[in-house]
Amino acid sequence: MNATVYRNGRLHMEAVPLERLAAEVGTPVYCYSLAALQQNYRDFVSAADGLNAAVCYAVKANSNVAIIAALNRLGAGADVVSIGEMRRALAAGVPAGKIVFSGVGKKKAEMAEALQAGIMQINVESEAELRLLSDVAVAAGKTATLAVRINPDVDAGTHAKITTGKKENKFGVDYDHARRVYAVAKQLPGLNPVGVAVHIGSQITDVKPYRAAYELVAELVRNLRRDGIAIDRIDLGGGLGIVYGQENAPSLTEYMKIVRETVGDLGCHLTFEPGRWMVGNIGVLLAEVIYVKPGQARNFVVVDAAMNDLIRPTLYEAYHGIKPVILPESGAESVLSDVVGPICESGDYLAKGRELPPLASGDLIVLESAGAYGAVMASTYNTRPLVPEVLVDGERYAVIRPRQTLEELLAADRVPPWLK
């Protein structure tokens, strides 16, 4: 479902006018639709009907505790890539037994805390990590239940910075070395290798690469069982994309068909880890036009949101649709515009070369599909405080992260005594 809709020419999120949010919370602000989030989860679970499977939401996409809590209430677990994310999931009420700890660079203290918490599974990405995990588990008197993440050398056909399944990527164990790594895991004390994990990238809109990756996973599971390793779990990762602009939406039905045809007959419990697919299109970044600066080639629409608030356009050349909060008059001619922020960087842009309706100082716009990798990647560059996040539910809303004040931002710094 769409997170926003025009009613009488005014853009709303569910039943809340975005003008009201701008007036009461201020701009810029991230706004999320609870109904859209709930619908996405139900659609995913429905598509997986009949599979012995669980959904562990990829927290890195949007780690606000309220978002995690909303998904937890629906039955989701959590896929985390740091102890900070694990603590967020626990704070949101996710049972430890429904948390998967992924990531290529886990430290000793992180492993120890995860084992102490009693999480469901640790996904190991190298032999060195395997050996460290064994040491940590033995020292703690624990047994670490784990899956080894394999790198299948499959091109997901996505942006180079978010592909994770090629040999040149840092993630996972090379497929050709996987059986040897499992043999090591079987021999090391404190380890219980029960699963195979794979994740080939993010924002995948063509589901065909999943078939190639999952066929390799199935082959590995069969070979490991011949080696005497009792594999009963498969972590299929996430990566399903969303529509930002002109992409074709990936088919959830076709994706699940691939799952059933490749790994569905292995008798394994399956874990799905959707992130962007779950939250990307539930949110918008609401911003106000500061002024319009005419240029020789195009207009520059200067808004109060910037690259520190939404870095995806600068980092990934990413596209986000833009809508005015108030519909223009019928017949209004569009203007070729760049939408830019106040930061002192030429790279501080949110959109380039867009045909937009005429805009003026004080007008409100939204950047669409901003629910994933928006607020979670924000920074305080140029000493700009972090913006708030709002969750909308029907006619009501709640601020789920307040706007950071300059006083709070400055208070984090410490001047050494010898400089005073």
Per-residue confidence in pLDDT tens, the chain, 420 aa:
789 999 999 999 999 999 999 999 999 999 999 999 999 999 999 999 999 999 999 999 999 999 999 999 999 999 999 999 999 999 999 999 999 999 989 999 999 999 999 999 999 999 999 999 999 999 999 999 999 999 887 655 554 544 444 455 556 788 889 999 999 999 999 999 999 999 988 889 889 989 999 999 999 999 999 999 999 999 999 999 999 988 888 899 999 999 999 999 999 999 999 999 999 999 999 999 999 998 777 799 999 999 999 999 999 899 999 999 999 988 788 889 999 999 999 899 999 999 999 999 999 999 999 999 999 999 999 999 999 999 999 999 999 999 999 999 999 999 999 998
What confidence score (pLDDT) does residue 250 get? 86
Statement to judge: residues 265 and 357 lie in one domain: no
Statement to judge: residues 288 and 238 lie in one domain: no
We report the CATH number of the domain holding residue 291 as 2.40.37.10
Catalytic, 56? Answer no
Statement to judge: residues 258 and 286 lie in one domain: no
Domain edge (last residue) among 213, 240, 272:
272
Statement to judge: residues 296 and 258 lie in one domain: no
Give the Cβ contact number of residue 247 at 10 Å: 13
Domain edge (last residue) among 222, 246, 272:
272
Report the alpha-carbon distance of residue 270 to residue 12 in Å, rounded: 38
| Cα 405–chain centre separation | 26
Statement to judge: residues 131 and 256 lie in one domain: yes
Domain edge (last residue) among 249, 272, 295:
272
In a domain, 25, yes or no: yes
Residue showing tokens 């139900």: 42
**How many domains would you assign to the chain?**
2
Report the alpha-carbon distance of residue 345 to residue 60 in Å, rounded: 26
In a domain, 66, yes or no: no
- Over 158-201, what HEC string results? CCHHHECCCCCCCCCEEHHHHHHHHHHHHHCCCEEEEEEECCCE
Statement to judge: residues 233 and 124 lie in one domain: yes
In a domain, 385, yes or no: yes
In a domain, 338, yes or no: yes
Statement to judge: residues 151 and 268 lie in one domain: yes
Of residues 31, 56, 268, 344, which has the active-site annotation? Answer: 344
Statement to judge: residues 176 and 126 lie in one domain: yes
CB distance 37 to 61 below 8 Å: no
In a domain, 89, yes or no: no
Instruction: Give the range of the structural domain holding residue 383, as residue numbers without chain letter.
Output: 4-32+280-411
In a domain, 317, yes or no: yes
Statement to judge: residues 214 and 111 lie in one domain: yes
In a domain, 306, yes or no: yes
What confidence score (pLDDT) does residue 166 get? 43
What confidence score (pLDDT) does residue 171 get? 64
What confidence score (pLDDT) does residue 161 get? 43
What confidence score (pLDDT) does residue 236 get? 96
Statement to judge: residues 121 and 265 lie in one domain: yes
We report the CATH number of the domain holding residue 241 as 3.20.20.10
The sign of the dihedral angle between the CA atoms of 107, 272, 38, 5 is positive
Statement to judge: residues 254 and 168 lie in one domain: yes
What type of residue is 273?
E
Statement to judge: residues 251 and 308 lie in one domain: no
In a domain, 94, yes or no: no
Indicate yes or no: pTM above 0.85.
yes
